[in-house]
Amino acid sequence: MHASFSSISKFIAVVATVFMVACTDPDQCSDRPALRPTTSLPLLQTGHPPVRATYETVLAAFNQHTIPGLKVSGVNQGIDTSMLLIELDNRRFEPSIVTADRVNTGLSPVDAMRSGSYGVLIGSSFVSAGNPLIPVGLLRKRDQVLSELQIHGYTRILGLTPHGLGVIGHRVYERDLFASALQLGPGIVEQGELDISERDLTRPRYFRSFVALCADRTILGATIVPMHLRTVGAQFLRFADASHLQCDEVVNLAGDRETIIAVSSDAGVTFLGHSDHARVAMLKFTNTP
Protein backbone atom coordinates (compact mmCIF):
# COMPACT_ATOMS: atom_id res chain seq x y z
CA MET A 1 0.00 0.00 0.00
CA HIS A 2 1.38 3.44 -0.94
CA ALA A 3 1.35 6.23 1.65
CA SER A 4 -0.88 9.17 0.83
CA PHE A 5 0.59 12.59 0.02
CA SER A 6 -0.80 13.98 3.29
CA SER A 7 0.83 11.25 5.40
CA ILE A 8 4.18 11.79 3.68
CA SER A 9 3.88 15.54 4.23
CA LYS A 10 3.19 14.96 7.93
CA PHE A 11 6.19 12.65 8.14
CA ILE A 12 8.49 15.21 6.55
CA ALA A 13 7.18 17.85 8.94
CA VAL A 14 7.98 15.57 11.89
CA VAL A 15 11.49 14.46 10.90
CA ALA A 16 12.84 17.56 9.15
CA THR A 17 12.85 19.57 12.35
CA VAL A 18 15.45 22.07 13.49
CA PHE A 19 16.22 21.63 17.16
CA MET A 20 18.64 22.80 19.82
CA VAL A 21 20.37 20.38 22.20
CA ALA A 22 19.65 21.34 25.79
CA CYS A 23 22.33 21.83 28.39
CA THR A 24 21.10 21.57 31.97
CA ASP A 25 24.43 22.26 33.73
CA PRO A 26 26.00 25.61 32.67
CA ASP A 27 29.21 24.87 34.57
CA GLN A 28 29.81 21.75 32.50
CA CYS A 29 28.53 23.11 29.20
CA SER A 30 29.90 26.66 29.00
CA ASP A 31 32.67 25.57 26.63
CA ARG A 32 30.55 23.04 24.76
CA PRO A 33 30.32 23.98 21.06
CA ALA A 34 26.80 24.72 19.87
CA LEU A 35 25.29 22.33 17.36
CA ARG A 36 24.36 23.91 14.05
CA PRO A 37 20.77 23.65 12.73
CA THR A 38 20.00 19.96 12.60
CA THR A 39 17.79 17.70 10.50
CA SER A 40 17.05 14.34 12.14
CA LEU A 41 15.64 11.54 9.98
CA PRO A 42 14.82 8.50 12.12
CA LEU A 43 14.99 5.28 10.13
CA LEU A 44 11.64 4.36 11.66
CA GLN A 45 9.24 7.02 12.93
CA THR A 46 7.04 5.51 15.65
CA GLY A 47 3.30 5.75 15.29
CA HIS A 48 0.27 3.73 14.24
CA PRO A 49 1.30 2.45 11.78
CA PRO A 50 5.03 3.31 12.03
CA VAL A 51 6.38 5.36 9.10
CA ARG A 52 9.77 4.89 7.51
CA ALA A 53 11.90 7.61 5.99
CA THR A 54 11.47 7.69 2.22
CA TYR A 55 14.29 7.56 -0.31
CA GLU A 56 13.27 10.95 -1.71
CA THR A 57 13.15 12.59 1.71
CA VAL A 58 16.55 11.23 2.71
CA LEU A 59 18.32 12.26 -0.51
CA ALA A 60 16.76 15.74 -0.39
CA ALA A 61 17.99 16.23 3.18
CA PHE A 62 21.55 15.08 2.46
CA ASN A 63 21.82 16.86 -0.89
CA GLN A 64 21.63 20.22 0.88
CA HIS A 65 25.26 19.70 1.92
CA THR A 66 28.00 21.02 -0.36
CA ILE A 67 31.50 19.93 0.67
CA PRO A 68 34.46 19.60 -1.74
CA GLY A 69 35.10 15.92 -2.41
CA LEU A 70 31.68 14.72 -1.21
CA LYS A 71 28.94 13.33 -3.44
CA VAL A 72 25.52 12.09 -2.32
CA SER A 73 23.86 9.31 -4.31
CA GLY A 74 21.87 6.18 -3.67
CA VAL A 75 20.14 3.04 -4.88
CA ASN A 76 16.37 2.73 -4.98
CA GLN A 77 14.76 -0.45 -6.29
CA GLY A 78 11.37 -0.31 -4.60
CA ILE A 79 10.12 -0.93 -1.08
CA ASP A 80 12.64 -3.72 -0.33
CA THR A 81 15.85 -2.07 -1.61
CA SER A 82 16.75 1.51 -0.74
CA MET A 83 20.19 2.82 0.25
CA LEU A 84 21.86 6.17 0.85
CA LEU A 85 25.46 6.36 -0.45
CA ILE A 86 27.99 9.07 0.35
CA GLU A 87 31.15 9.10 -1.79
CA LEU A 88 34.26 10.70 -0.29
CA ASP A 89 37.43 11.68 -2.13
CA ASN A 90 40.24 10.18 -0.05
CA ARG A 91 42.42 13.23 -0.67
CA ARG A 92 39.82 15.48 0.97
CA PHE A 93 38.80 13.50 4.05
CA GLU A 94 40.76 12.20 7.01
CA PRO A 95 39.26 9.17 8.82
CA SER A 96 39.31 8.64 12.58
CA ILE A 97 37.63 6.46 15.19
CA VAL A 98 35.55 8.43 17.69
CA THR A 99 34.59 7.18 21.13
CA ALA A 100 33.61 8.63 24.49
CA ASP A 101 36.45 9.84 26.71
CA ARG A 102 35.65 7.09 29.21
CA VAL A 103 35.25 3.44 28.27
CA ASN A 104 31.72 1.99 28.42
CA THR A 105 30.02 5.39 28.70
CA GLY A 106 29.08 5.77 25.05
CA LEU A 107 29.04 8.76 22.70
CA SER A 108 25.96 10.04 20.89
CA PRO A 109 26.21 11.02 17.21
CA VAL A 110 24.95 14.48 18.19
CA ASP A 111 27.96 14.97 20.46
CA ALA A 112 30.33 13.37 17.94
CA MET A 113 29.29 15.99 15.35
CA ARG A 114 29.41 18.91 17.77
CA SER A 115 32.91 20.10 16.74
CA GLY A 116 33.21 22.91 14.23
CA SER A 117 34.83 20.73 11.55
CA TYR A 118 32.81 19.58 8.54
CA GLY A 119 32.58 15.95 7.58
CA VAL A 120 30.73 12.65 7.75
CA LEU A 121 29.96 10.20 10.56
CA ILE A 122 28.99 6.54 10.21
CA GLY A 123 28.36 3.84 12.79
CA SER A 124 28.62 1.74 14.53
CA SER A 125 31.06 -0.72 16.12
CA PHE A 126 29.71 -4.01 17.43
CA VAL A 127 28.53 -4.26 21.03
CA SER A 128 27.34 -6.85 23.52
CA ALA A 129 23.75 -8.05 23.10
CA GLY A 130 23.26 -7.65 26.84
CA ASN A 131 24.84 -4.19 27.16
CA PRO A 132 25.01 -1.79 24.19
CA LEU A 133 27.90 0.12 25.81
CA ILE A 134 30.28 -2.87 26.01
CA PRO A 135 32.37 -3.32 22.84
CA VAL A 136 32.70 -6.71 21.16
CA GLY A 137 35.83 -7.54 19.19
CA LEU A 138 38.88 -5.39 18.52
CA LEU A 139 38.55 -1.70 19.30
CA ARG A 140 41.82 0.20 19.16
CA LYS A 141 42.14 3.97 19.20
CA ARG A 142 45.45 5.79 18.84
CA ASP A 143 47.45 2.77 20.05
CA GLN A 144 45.16 2.22 23.04
CA VAL A 145 43.35 -1.14 23.03
CA LEU A 146 39.85 -0.63 24.41
CA SER A 147 38.66 -4.14 23.52
CA GLU A 148 40.68 -7.20 22.46
CA LEU A 149 40.46 -9.11 19.19
CA GLN A 150 38.00 -12.01 19.06
CA ILE A 151 39.23 -14.97 17.02
CA HIS A 152 35.74 -16.49 16.79
CA GLY A 153 33.51 -13.69 15.63
CA TYR A 154 33.46 -10.85 13.18
CA THR A 155 35.82 -11.63 10.33
CA ARG A 156 37.20 -8.27 9.13
CA ILE A 157 39.50 -5.67 10.63
CA LEU A 158 39.03 -2.10 9.40
CA GLY A 159 42.20 -0.17 10.22
CA LEU A 160 43.48 3.35 9.82
CA THR A 161 46.79 3.80 7.99
CA PRO A 162 48.76 6.94 7.04
CA HIS A 163 47.21 6.53 3.57
CA GLY A 164 43.61 6.04 4.67
CA LEU A 165 41.58 2.92 5.47
CA GLY A 166 42.59 -0.71 5.04
CA VAL A 167 40.71 -3.98 5.50
CA ILE A 168 42.22 -7.38 6.35
CA GLY A 169 40.96 -10.70 7.67
CA HIS A 170 40.84 -11.05 11.45
CA ARG A 171 43.01 -14.19 11.39
CA VAL A 172 45.96 -12.41 9.75
CA TYR A 173 45.77 -9.34 11.99
CA GLU A 174 48.93 -8.61 13.97
CA ARG A 175 49.08 -6.44 17.07
CA ASP A 176 50.24 -2.87 16.34
CA LEU A 177 49.49 -3.26 12.63
CA PHE A 178 47.07 -0.31 12.90
CA ALA A 179 47.18 2.55 15.39
CA SER A 180 43.36 2.57 15.28
CA ALA A 181 41.13 -0.30 14.22
CA LEU A 182 37.67 -1.86 14.50
CA GLN A 183 36.68 -5.52 14.23
CA LEU A 184 33.68 -5.65 11.91
CA GLY A 185 32.01 -8.00 9.51
CA PRO A 186 31.12 -9.93 7.71
CA GLY A 187 32.86 -8.85 4.56
CA ILE A 188 29.97 -8.14 2.18
CA VAL A 189 32.37 -7.82 -0.74
CA GLU A 190 35.91 -9.23 -0.59
CA GLN A 191 38.46 -8.73 -3.35
CA GLY A 192 35.74 -7.30 -5.56
CA GLU A 193 33.41 -10.31 -5.28
CA LEU A 194 30.14 -10.75 -3.39
CA ASP A 195 30.94 -12.84 -0.30
CA ILE A 196 27.53 -13.38 1.28
CA SER A 197 25.82 -16.72 0.62
CA GLU A 198 22.21 -17.12 -0.51
CA ARG A 199 21.40 -18.51 2.96
CA ASP A 200 21.39 -14.90 4.14
CA LEU A 201 18.10 -14.41 2.26
CA THR A 202 16.37 -16.76 4.71
CA ARG A 203 17.32 -14.61 7.71
CA PRO A 204 15.57 -11.48 9.01
CA ARG A 205 16.19 -8.14 7.31
CA TYR A 206 17.82 -5.33 9.31
CA PHE A 207 18.81 -1.73 8.80
CA ARG A 208 22.43 -1.83 7.62
CA SER A 209 25.44 0.45 7.46
CA PHE A 210 28.69 -0.28 5.64
CA VAL A 211 32.01 1.09 4.39
CA ALA A 212 33.32 0.44 0.86
CA LEU A 213 36.94 0.95 -0.23
CA CYS A 214 36.99 1.98 -3.89
CA ALA A 215 40.49 2.96 -5.08
CA ASP A 216 40.67 6.76 -4.74
CA ARG A 217 37.47 7.10 -2.72
CA THR A 218 35.57 5.69 0.23
CA ILE A 219 31.83 5.12 0.00
CA LEU A 220 29.72 5.14 3.15
CA GLY A 221 26.30 3.55 2.96
CA ALA A 222 23.18 3.08 5.06
CA THR A 223 20.00 1.31 4.10
CA ILE A 224 16.77 3.28 4.36
CA VAL A 225 14.72 0.09 4.72
CA PRO A 226 15.64 -3.22 6.39
CA MET A 227 17.66 -5.34 3.93
CA HIS A 228 19.55 -8.61 3.66
CA LEU A 229 23.33 -8.30 3.45
CA ARG A 230 23.37 -10.29 0.21
CA THR A 231 20.95 -7.81 -1.36
CA VAL A 232 23.05 -4.89 -0.08
CA GLY A 233 26.16 -6.39 -1.67
CA ALA A 234 24.54 -7.30 -4.98
CA GLN A 235 22.92 -3.88 -5.39
CA PHE A 236 26.11 -2.08 -4.38
CA LEU A 237 28.17 -3.98 -6.95
CA ARG A 238 25.65 -3.06 -9.65
CA PHE A 239 25.94 0.59 -8.57
CA ALA A 240 29.75 0.40 -8.63
CA ASP A 241 29.78 -1.21 -12.07
CA ALA A 242 27.40 1.41 -13.50
CA SER A 243 29.56 4.16 -11.94
CA HIS A 244 32.80 2.61 -13.28
CA LEU A 245 34.17 2.14 -9.75
CA GLN A 246 36.54 -0.59 -8.61
CA CYS A 247 35.49 -1.45 -5.07
CA ASP A 248 37.58 -4.25 -3.57
CA GLU A 249 36.16 -4.31 -0.04
CA VAL A 250 32.74 -3.62 1.44
CA VAL A 251 32.50 -4.31 5.17
CA ASN A 252 29.41 -4.47 7.36
CA LEU A 253 29.06 -2.34 10.49
CA ALA A 254 26.67 -2.95 13.38
CA GLY A 255 23.15 -2.44 12.09
CA ASP A 256 19.56 -1.96 13.18
CA ARG A 257 19.41 0.48 16.14
CA GLU A 258 23.19 1.05 15.88
CA THR A 259 22.92 2.32 12.29
CA ILE A 260 23.78 5.99 11.89
CA ILE A 261 25.08 8.25 9.13
CA ALA A 262 25.44 12.02 9.34
CA VAL A 263 26.87 14.94 7.36
CA SER A 264 27.94 18.34 8.72
CA SER A 265 28.47 21.42 6.53
CA ASP A 266 27.58 25.12 6.29
CA ALA A 267 23.98 23.94 5.84
CA GLY A 268 23.95 22.36 9.32
CA VAL A 269 23.93 18.69 10.36
CA THR A 270 21.75 15.92 8.92
CA PHE A 271 21.35 12.56 10.67
CA LEU A 272 19.84 9.32 9.37
CA GLY A 273 19.23 7.01 12.31
CA HIS A 274 18.95 7.50 16.05
CA SER A 275 21.05 10.62 16.61
CA ASP A 276 20.78 10.65 20.42
CA HIS A 277 21.40 6.92 21.01
CA ALA A 278 24.89 6.49 22.52
CA ARG A 279 27.36 4.28 20.64
CA VAL A 280 30.65 2.74 21.73
CA ALA A 281 32.55 3.75 18.58
CA MET A 282 31.92 5.32 15.17
CA LEU A 283 33.96 6.38 12.16
CA LYS A 284 34.34 10.06 11.39
CA PHE A 285 35.69 11.54 8.16
CA THR A 286 36.83 15.15 8.57
CA ASN A 287 37.06 17.42 5.54
CA THR A 288 40.59 18.74 4.98
CA PRO A 289 41.71 21.66 2.76
pLDDT at 258 over 80: yes
Residue type (1 letter), 172: V
The string of pLDDT tens digits covering residues 74-101 is 999 988 899 999 999 999 999 999 999 8
Query: What band does 235 get if pLDDT is binned at 50, 70 and 90?
Result: very high
Handedness of CA 125, 202, 222, 158 (dihedral sign): positive
**Per residue in 48-79, pLDDT tens?**
666 678 999 999 999 999 999 999 999 999 88
Give yes or no for residue 227 having a pLDDT over 60: yes
CA dist 53 and 14 (Å) reads 11
pLDDT, position 39: 85
Distance, in Å, from the CA atom of 284 to the CA atom of 289, rounded to the nearest integer, reads: 16
Whole-number pLDDT of residue 49: 63
User: How many whole angstroms separate alpha carbon 5 and alpha carbon 267?
Assistant: 27
Does 26 score more than 70 pLDDT?
A: no
* pLDDT at res. 13: 33
Domain boundaries, the chain: 5-287
Report the chain's mean pLDDT, rounded to a whole number. Answer: 86
* CA 124/CA 136 separation, integer angstroms: 11
